[in-house]
Amino acid sequence: ELSEGPRWDDETATVTWVDIVQGQVLRGVVTADEVVGEVVLDLPDTVGFAVPTSDGGLLSGAHDRVLVVSPDGTRHESRPLVDRTQELRLNDAAVDPAGRLVAGSLTNDHRPGDAQLFRLEPDGTSTVLRDGLTLANGIGWSPDGGTIYVNDSIPGTVWAADYDVASGSVEGWRVLVGELHGSPDGLTVDADGRIWVAGWNASRVTCF
């Protein structure tokens, strides 16, 4: 119903993505003509992201919290990171060069300024890296890890900031791209440092 967040896993040669509305995590193989996938996780509410872990498990954005799924199927939940009574839910996420999960949130009614960007540590603690967002999306890093990028889809802004890989701290947020064909949605960075941004409602991907 709403496919998002495809991630390629070199170790298993599979792609993982989510159906946000159906609350499903899917995994599949790429053939010459299509992606053949199956549901590997079915949740009772929305799912914002699914990130494969190095041991074969998953980190999944289960509406308002992070669900850790071990390879044997064992599940552990974090505390809620957002207040679902305020029409907030988790959205996109990515893993930083040191292995920390960085996740964004959105407001279901798209009211401005109430979404955030979080950094999560292995012990479950979280730190707000940026607030004042509306729909945090498309998180990535420069090849050296020294710059973080994040999309705020509703105002149409691609943000950048200095990122300290050792501590996970961020400073110096600045507008990298203020206008784009369509709303900036997914984002990835290639080995040469080029930033690829999917323009929702524009049927295109733009490279910076």
Token output for 31 = 């053939």
Say whether 185 is catalytic: yes
Sign of the torsion formed by the C-alpha atoms of 59, 158, 155 and 131 = positive
Residue 196 one-letter amino acid: W
Q: Which two tokens stand for residue 28?
A: 């599949």
Structure tokens at 130: 């940026």
- 51 half-sphere exposure, CB direction, 13 A CA radius: 20
Residue tagged 């053939």 (tokens): 31
Neighbours of 168 (CB within 10 A): 18
Phi then psi dihedrals of residue 81, to 5 deg: -95, -25
d(CA 137, CA 83): 18
Beta bridge partner(s), residue 61: 66
Q: Do residues 91 and 135 make contact, with C-beta atoms less than 8 angstroms apart?
A: yes
Name the active-site residue from 64, 185, 190, 192: 185
**What amino acid positions are annotated as catalytic residues?**
185
